Chain A
Amino acid sequence: MHGPARTFTDAHGPRNIRWTCPLDVSVDVRAGPCASVYVRAGVAPTPMRGNVPAPLHGDTKAANELPHSKTVVHVSRIMSLPAPPTCRGDLAGYIPLLRVARDLPMVFTLRSRRASLLMAAPEFIRNFAIIAHIDHGKSTLADRLLLHTHTIEERKFQDQVLDAMDLERERGITIKSHPVRMEYTAANGQVYQLNLIDTPGHVDFAYEVSRSLAACDGGLLVIDAVQGVQAQTVANYNLAVRQKLAIIPLINKIDLPAADIDMCTEQMEEILTIPADEALLVSAKMDIGINELLEAVITRVPPPNVPADGVLRALVFDSVYDTYRGVVSYIRVVSGNLKKGDKVKLLSNGQETEVKDLGFFRPAMTAVEFLGPGEVGFIVTTIRSPADILIGDTLTTVMAPCPVALPGFQRIHPMVFSGIYPCDTRDYEQLKYSLAKFQLNDSALQVQSENSPALGAGFRCGFLGLLHMEIVQERLHREYDMEVIMTYPSVIYHVYLTDGKMIAIDNPMHLPDPTAIGHIEEPIIIARIISPSQYLGAILNMVKEKRGEDIETATVDHLHIMITTKLPLHEIVVDFYDRLKTITRGYGSMDYEPSGYRSGPLVKLEMLVNGDPIDAFSCIVHRDCAEFRGRRLAERLRDVIPQHMFQIAIQAAIGGKVVARETVRAMRKDVLSKCYGGDITRKRKLLEKQKEGKKKMKEFGNVTIPQSAFVEILKTKQE
Chain B
Amino acid sequence: MHVPFCRRKCGYCAFYSLPGAAPAQMRAWRERLRREFAEFAAASAPLHSVFLGGGTPTLLPPSELAGLLTDIRAAFTVAAGAEISSEANPETVTPEVADTLAAGGVNRVSLGVQSFQPALRRVLDRAGDPAAAETAVPRLRQAGIHNLGADLINAIPGQTPPLWRDDLRRALGLGIAHLSTYALTREEGARLADSFPPANPELEADLWEIADTETARHGLHRYEVSNFARPGAACRHNQDVWLGAAYLGCGPAACSFDGALRWSNPADLNAWLRDPVPRETDPLPADRRAAEILVFGLRTTAGWTRDLFQERTGFDYLELRGRELHRLQDQGVLAGLPDRVYPTPRGLLLHDHLAIELL
Q: A645-B333, A691-B359 are in contact. Are A677 and B183 (CB under 8 A)?
A: no
A687 within 8 A of B: yes
Q: A671-B351, A672-B352 are in contact. Are A677 and B255 (CB under 8 A)?
A: yes
Q: Is the CB of B356 within 8 A of A674?
A: no
B109 within 8 A of A: no
For the side of the interface on B, what is the size category? Answer: 35 or more
Contact of A691 among B183, B247, B356 (CB under 8 A): B356
Q: Is the CB of B262 within 8 A of A669?
A: no
For A6, list chain B residues within 8 Å (CB). Answer: none
Contact of A669 among B2, B53, B201 (CB under 8 A): B201
Q: Is the CB of A668 within 8 A of B359?
A: no
For B292, list chain A residues within 8 Å (CB). Answer: 680, 684
Query: How far, in angstroms, from A674 to B181 measured CA to CA in the complex?
Result: 8
Interface residues of A in 618-648 (CB under 8 A from B): 643, 645
Contact of B256 among A678, A691, A694 (CB under 8 A): A678
Query: How far, in angstroms, from A312 to B299 measured CA to CA in the complex?
Result: 79
Q: Is the CB of B349 within 8 A of A681?
A: no
B182 within 8 A of A: yes
Shortest distance in angstroms between A286's beta carbon and chain B's nearest beta carbon? 39
Query: How far, in angstroms, from A684 to B293 measured CA to CA in the complex?
Result: 10
A670 within 8 A of B: yes
Q: Is the CB of B255 within 8 A of A681?
A: yes
Interface residues of A in 176-203 (CB under 8 A from B): none
Q: Is the CB of B201 within 8 A of A680?
A: no
Query: How far, in angstroms, from A694 to B357 measured CA to CA in the complex?
Result: 10
**How many residue pairs at the A-B interface have CB separations less than 8 Å?**
90
For B352, list chain A residues within 8 Å (CB). Answer: 670-672, 687, 690
For B73, list chain A residues within 8 Å (CB). Answer: none
Interface residues of B in 270-292 (CB under 8 A from A): 282, 292
Chain A, Cβ-Cβ closest to B293:
A680
Q: Is the CB of B202 within 8 A of A676?
A: no
Query: How far, in angstroms, from A676 to B87 measured CA to CA in the complex?
Result: 12
Q: Is the CB of B225 within 8 A of A671?
A: yes
A667 within 8 A of B: yes
Interface residues of B in 319-359 (CB under 8 A from A): 331, 333, 348-353, 355-356, 359
Q: Is the CB of B226 within 8 A of A673?
A: yes
For B254, list chain A residues within 8 Å (CB). Answer: 677-678
A679 within 8 A of B: yes
Q: Mark B1-39, 1 if CB is under 8 A from A, else 0.
A: 010000000000001000000000000000000000000
Shortest distance in angstroms between A446's beta carbon and chain B's nearest beta carbon? 38
Q: Is the CB of A673 within 8 A of B359?
A: no
Q: Is the CB of B182 within 8 A of A673?
A: yes
Shortest distance in angstroms between A665's beta carbon and chain B's nearest beta carbon? 9
Q: Is the CB of A670 within 8 A of B350?
A: yes
Q: Is the CB of A668 within 8 A of B202?
A: yes
For B183, list chain A residues within 8 Å (CB). Answer: 673-674
For the side of the interface on A, what is the size category? Answer: 20 to 34
A578 within 8 A of B: no
Query: How far, in angstroms, from A717 to B2 measured CA to CA in the complex?
Result: 50
Q: Is the CB of A680 within 8 A of B257?
A: yes
For B225, list chain A residues within 8 Å (CB). Answer: 671, 673, 675
A388 within 8 A of B: no
B296 within 8 A of A: yes
Contact of A645 among B257, B296, B350 (CB under 8 A): B350
A688 within 8 A of B: yes
B115 within 8 A of A: no
B127 within 8 A of A: no
Prevailing SS type, chain B contact patch = mixed
For B355, list chain A residues within 8 Å (CB). Answer: 687
For A675, list chain B residues within 8 Å (CB). Answer: 225-226, 299
B264 within 8 A of A: yes
Q: Is the CB of B202 within 8 A of A687?
A: no
For B299, list chain A residues within 8 Å (CB). Answer: 675
Q: A677-B254, A681-B255 are in contact. Are A667 and B241 (CB under 8 A)?
A: no
B301 within 8 A of A: no
Q: A674-B185, A676-B15 are in contact. Are A694 and B262 (CB under 8 A)?
A: no
Q: Is the CB of B350 within 8 A of A671?
A: yes
Query: How far, in angstroms, from A663 to B264 measured CA to CA in the complex?
Result: 45
Shortest distance in angstroms between B302's beta carbon and chain A's nearest beta carbon? 17
B253 within 8 A of A: yes
Q: Mark B239-256, 1 if CB is under 8 A from A, else 0.
A: 001000001010001111
Query: How far, in angstroms, from A40 to B296 measured CA to CA in the complex?
Result: 83
Q: Is the CB of B331 within 8 A of A671?
A: no
For A687, list chain B residues within 8 Å (CB). Answer: 295, 352, 355-356, 359
Q: Is the CB of A667 within 8 A of B350?
A: yes
Chain B, Cβ-Cβ closest to A684:
B292
Query: How far, in angstroms, from A691 to B295 measured CA to CA in the complex?
Result: 14
Q: Mark B90-124, 1 if CB is under 8 A from A, else 0.
A: 00000000000000000000000000000000000
Query: How far, in angstroms, from A675 to B180 measured CA to CA in the complex?
Result: 11
Q: A674-B182, A678-B241, A680-B257 are in contact. Are A668 and B15 (CB under 8 A)?
A: no
For A684, list chain B residues within 8 Å (CB). Answer: 292, 295-296, 359
For A688, list chain B residues within 8 Å (CB). Answer: 359
Q: Is the CB of A677 within 8 A of B353?
A: no
For A694, list chain B residues within 8 Å (CB). Answer: 356
Q: Mark B298-310, 1 if CB is under 8 A from A, else 0.
A: 0100000000000
B318 within 8 A of A: no
Q: Is the CB of A680 within 8 A of B15?
A: no
Shortest distance in angstroms between A693's beta carbon and chain B's nearest beta carbon? 9
Chain A, Cβ-Cβ closest to B183:
A673
Contact of A681 among B15, B205, B262, B348 (CB under 8 A): B262
Q: Mark A656-667, 1 if CB is under 8 A from B, else 0.
A: 000000000001
Chain B, Cβ-Cβ closest to A671:
B351
Contact of A671 among B255, B282, B348 (CB under 8 A): B348
Query: How far, in angstroms, from A131 to B8 measured CA to CA in the complex?
Result: 63
Query: How far, in angstroms, from A671 to B208 measured CA to CA in the complex?
Result: 11
Q: Is the CB of B353 within 8 A of A670?
A: yes
Query: How far, in angstroms, from A114 to B80 measured CA to CA in the complex?
Result: 92
Chain A, Cβ-Cβ closest to B16:
A677
Q: Is the CB of B201 within 8 A of A690?
A: no
Q: A667-B350, A674-B183, A681-B282 are in contact. List 20 more A-B contacts (CB 8 A).
A: A645-B333, A645-B353, A668-B201, A669-B202, A670-B351, A671-B348, A671-B350, A673-B181, A673-B182, A673-B183, A674-B185, A674-B187, A675-B225, A677-B15, A677-B254, A678-B256, A680-B262, A683-B296, A684-B296, A688-B359
Listed in ascending order, the chain B residues whose CB lies under 8 Å from chain A are: 2, 15, 53, 181-183, 185, 187, 201-202, 204-205, 208, 225-226, 241, 247, 249, 253-257, 262, 264, 282, 292, 295-296, 299, 331, 333, 348-353, 355-356, 359
Instruction: Sample 20 A-B pairs with CB under 8 A, ordered by A number.
Output: A667-B350, A668-B202, A668-B205, A671-B349, A672-B185, A674-B187, A675-B225, A677-B15, A677-B254, A680-B296, A681-B282, A683-B296, A684-B295, A684-B296, A684-B359, A687-B295, A688-B359, A690-B352, A690-B356, A694-B356
**What are the 4 A-B residue pairs with the smallest beta carbon separation, nearest first?**
A668-B205, A673-B182, A671-B351, A669-B205
